[in-house]
Amino acid sequence: MPKASLPGKCFDVAIIGAGVVGCAMARRFTLDGARVVVLEKAADVLDGASKANSAILHTGFDATPGSLEQTCIAHGYREYLEIHESLGLPLLKTGAMVLAWDDDQLAKLDGLVAKAHENGVMDVAMRSRAEILAQEPQLASHLMGGFVVPSEYLIDPWASAHSYILQALANGAELHRDSEVLAGQFDGSEWLIETSKGTVCSKQVINCAGLYGDVIDQRLLGKSSFIIKPRKGQFVVFDKPASDLIKAVILPVPTATTKGVVIFRTIFGNLAVGPTAEEQTSRTDTSTEAGTLRELRAKGIKMLPALEKYEVTTVYAGLRPATEFQDYQINQDATQNYITVGGIRSTGLSAALGIARHVASLNTRSGFNGKTITAPICPNPDRLSNYHPRDWQSPDHGGIICHCELVTRREIEAALDGPMPPATLQGLKRRTRVCMGRCQGFYCTGPLSEITKGRINPPIGVTDE
């Protein structure tokens, strides 16, 4: 084993993976006084499961009562509401509705409401067909009934995770990108972790590798107690005017494996239908399939007939890090100062802050020399919500570069000059929404390639990402 590449420096905690869970973990442990290093194999953060989801802050009303997932969602949800203002993160209270379209689904509603109450989500309440149609008049008339979940929100899935890791960095943590963890050895008190960029010493390891959680366990412990079974979710995104069709998130009656096909607005002002739930072996294949997308669109139109008139802006797919188990797989090997945070399947955005709290509550605090940070530095977040003030509305923004998403030159430059600059076009998109609108970059690629010259790899305009 080679010597640590940062001689004399041994971190308290090494976090493997900078998805939303790793970012929240870095924030939690930094604020708790640990010297934290985050090791990410991709060129940018949020390049795994966290790059594509529905971006709903769930209450956990439908989680299995008493499960780890339900506890972490409840705590994560609460903490997001507590910190979003200080971090400048957007929050849009839309509420959700779980709707029944046939007799079987109708028969399940009472049980789901009882489950929500058992989970402490007490404002969940039954509504008659007429009440639902009065609230959401565009829904199809074959609707049979449903219930409301008033406290579900829309959030920005990227700005939230960026803020968590930026707060960790501003308060002393280190992030190493392009640093794939290849192996590791524990000598009884310290880990020597071998990465593609050199070795790192740390007293503890937290595996937050998402779709590679089992691979990291194998590499460092020689075994894993679960197998990742990637589950793809495809989405169809409609043009922004379609978002006027509904206010609430429209949920179907869930099954054992999926929350089902949802109709939801995004905080960026679109309306989307999805996701599917398709098991696959590839941990990287996020391709979409024309037939599946047509089916999704048809399902959306069946529930919301006026959707037929609206054009599709784009399509995308994400991969859930599912396992053979229903619940999260958070396991501690206390003898080796090692914690696995695996199988954070379909609720990790909502639960991330709660997962981080849960992991911090395991006996990992011993040995931290730093003090708990009570007044942490709060970094400037990306402000991209369509429902909140945007940079283009203020003077001196330096001109608009992306006219579909109204992204200013100042926003792009701030991202490129920021403490965690994007290394790829995908990373720049997540920080600014440039190229994510109707033209998908057709018009702004020219000026964008000038502004980002030498700072984005591959250069914009050379490879169409």
Ligand X SMILES: Cc1cc2nc3c(=O)[nH]c(=O)nc-3n(C[C@H](O)[C@H](O)[C@H](O)COP(=O)(O)OP(=O)(O)OC[C@H]3O[C@@H](n4cnc5c(N)ncnc54)[C@H](O)[C@@H]3O)c2cc1C
Could you list the residues that contact ligand X (CB under 6 A)? 16-22, 39-42, 47-50, 53-56, 58, 180-181, 208-212, 216, 233, 275, 318-321, 344-350
In whole angstroms, the minimum distance from the beta carbon of 220 to ligand X comes to 10
Identity of the residue, 48 or 90, whose beta carbon is nearer to ligand X in the bound complex: 48
Identity of the residue, 180 or 239, whose beta carbon is nearer to ligand X in the bound complex: 180
Identity of the residue, 48 or 381, whose beta carbon is nearer to ligand X in the bound complex: 48
Q: At what angle do helices 348-361 and 68-87 cross, to 10 degrees?
A: 100
Identity of the residue, 119 or 346, whose beta carbon is nearer to ligand X in the bound complex: 346
Identity of the residue, 77 or 368, whose beta carbon is nearer to ligand X in the bound complex: 77
Identity of the residue, 266 or 408, whose beta carbon is nearer to ligand X in the bound complex: 266
Identity of the residue, 26 or 400, whose beta carbon is nearer to ligand X in the bound complex: 26
In whole angstroms, the minimum distance from the beta carbon of 16 to ligand X comes to 5
Identity of the residue, 165 or 307, whose beta carbon is nearer to ligand X in the bound complex: 165
In whole angstroms, the minimum distance from the beta carbon of 28 to ligand X comes to 13
In whole angstroms, the minimum distance from the beta carbon of 162 to ligand X comes to 13
Residue 229's alpha-carbon distances to 41, 232, 320, 326, 338, in angstroms, are: 20, 10, 8, 12, 22
Identity of the residue, 344 or 436, whose beta carbon is nearer to ligand X in the bound complex: 344
CA nearest to 101, candidates 284, 269, 300, 281: 300
Helix (H), strand (E), coil (C) string for the chain: CCCCCCCCCCEEEEEECCCHHHHHHHHHHHHCCCCEEEECCCCCCCCCHHHCCCCEECCCCCCCCCCHHHHHHHHHHHHHHHHHHHHCCCCEECCEEEEECCHHHHHHHHHHHHHHHHCCCCCCEEECHHHHHHHCCCCCCCCCEEEEECCCEECCHHHHHHHHHHHHHHCCCEEECCCCEEEEEECCCCEEEEECCEEEEEEEEEECCHHHHHHHHHHHHCCCCCCCCCEEEEEEEECHHHHHHCCCEEEECCCCCCCCCEEEECCCCCEEEECCCEECCCCCCCCCCHHHHHHHHHHHHHHCHHHHHCCEEEEEEEEECCCCCCCCEEEEEHHHCEEEEECCCCCHHHHHHHHHHHHHHCCCCCCCCCCCCCCCCCCCCCCCCCCCCCHHHCCCCCCEEECCCCEEHHHHHHHHHCCCCCCCHHHHHHHHCCCCCCCCCCCCHHHHHHHCCCCCCCCECCECC
In whole angstroms, the minimum distance from the beta carbon of 393 to ligand X comes to 28
In whole angstroms, the minimum distance from the beta carbon of 319 to ligand X comes to 5
In whole angstroms, the minimum distance from the beta carbon of 267 to ligand X comes to 11
In whole angstroms, the minimum distance from the beta carbon of 309 to ligand X comes to 26
How crowded is the C-beta side of 449, counted as CA atoms within 13 Å? 12
In whole angstroms, the minimum distance from the beta carbon of 131 to ligand X comes to 25
In whole angstroms, the minimum distance from the beta carbon of 205 to ligand X comes to 11
Identity of the residue, 75 or 448, whose beta carbon is nearer to ligand X in the bound complex: 75
